[in-house]
């Protein structure tokens, strides 16, 4: 099964803005990216704005043409890793355990509307972080989001425990795909499987229950009061 871009699945403009900045940091030119998106930077910065997931597909297509390379999604996700409180998902770094942090990280991206877009599926061999939407979505979005989750997971683990052990995708092998994460990442690549019945990241046994060293209840409490 392949998942084309659609306009039914909504992407927050803030998520798209960070993906846009990531593409630019990879040396894709802003005018070409904005032309593909058919919107302005101010529209991308609007926290109340939402776009269809065809927007992320258009952005990736423009960046691939600009950079003359197909395999850019993991690098885009890596450059979207939150570094401060103004970045989507940063408060997840202060939750008590790894699984909670990953769920919160994805929730703060505000993708797909009210229904959570991922869920945890506990298994004796290791938990799965499963794509939880029945709508067809752009595979560009799935690859970027899973890359973001994987790179954040490596930071959360900080070498104390193993995190993802494989990635599974319901769509076919993308043209130009070279691995996940990308070859020049500090993280070792993990096996990737395509044309699967569902889309999910597979984690090592007990990874989801591991405590987070940055856990800070005061920060979480303050963030929830502001939310």
CA–CA separation, 148 vs 80, rounded Å?
Answer: 7
pLDDT of residue 8: 75
Say if residues 51 and 17 touch (Cβ distance below 8 Å): no
Q: Report the pLDDT averaged over residues 204-214.
A: 93
Query: Per-residue pLDDT tens for 38-76?
Result: 999 999 999 889 998 899 999 999 999 999 999 999 999
CA–CA separation, 145 vs 221, rounded Å?
Answer: 26
Residue 119 pairs in a beta bridge with: 130
The two beta strands, 164-168 and 192-193, are parallel
pLDDT of residue 31: 96
pLDDT of residue 60: 96
Residue-averaged pLDDT of the chain: 89
Q: Which H or E run contains 166?
A: strand 164-168
pLDDT of residue 178: 85
Say if residues 171 and 139 touch (Cβ distance below 8 Å): yes
pLDDT of residue 215: 86
Eight-class DSSP state of 101: H
Q: Report the pLDDT averaged over residues 94-103.
A: 95
CA–CA separation, 96 vs 148, rounded Å?
Answer: 20
Residue 10 pairs in a beta bridge with: 52
The backbone region for 121, taken as left when phi is positive above 0, alpha when psi lies in -120 to 50, beta otherwise, is beta
pLDDT of residue 1: 41
Q: Report the pLDDT averaged over residues 173-192.
A: 78
pLDDT of residue 180: 83
The two beta strands, 50-52 and 118-121, are unpaired
3-state helix, strand, coil in the chain (%, to 5): 40, 15, 45
CA–CA separation, 182 vs 192, rounded Å?
Answer: 12
pLDDT of residue 5: 57
């Amino acid at each position: 099964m392949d998942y084309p871009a659609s306009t039914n699945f909504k992407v927050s403009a803030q998520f798209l803005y960070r993906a846009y900045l990531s593409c630019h940091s990879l040396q894709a030119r802003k005018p070409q990216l904005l032309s593909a998106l058919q919107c302005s930077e101010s529209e991308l910065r609007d926290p109340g704005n939402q776009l269809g997931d065809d927007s992320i597909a258009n952005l990736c297509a423009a960046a691939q043409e600009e950079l003359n390379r197909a395999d850019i999604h993991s690098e885009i996700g890596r450059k979207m890793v939150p570094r401060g409180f103004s970045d989507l998902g940063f408060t997840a770094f202060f939750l008590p355990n790894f699984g909670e942090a990953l769920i919160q990280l994805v929730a703060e991206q505000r993708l797909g509307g009210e229904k959570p877009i991922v869920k945890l599926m506990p298994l004796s061999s290791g938990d799965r972080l499963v794509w939880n939407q029945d709508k067809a979505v752009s595979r560009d979005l799935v690859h970027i989001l899973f890359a973001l989750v994987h790179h954040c997971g490596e930071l959360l683990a900080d070498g104390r425990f193993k995190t993802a052990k494989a990635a599974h995708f319901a769509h076919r092998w993308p043209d130009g795909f070279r691995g996940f994460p990308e070859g020049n990442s500090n993280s070792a690549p993990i096996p990737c499987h395509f044309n699967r019945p569902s889309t999910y990241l597979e984690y090592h046994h007990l990874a989801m229950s591991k405590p987070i060293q940055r856990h800070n209840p005061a920060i979480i409490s303050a963030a929830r009061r502001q939310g």
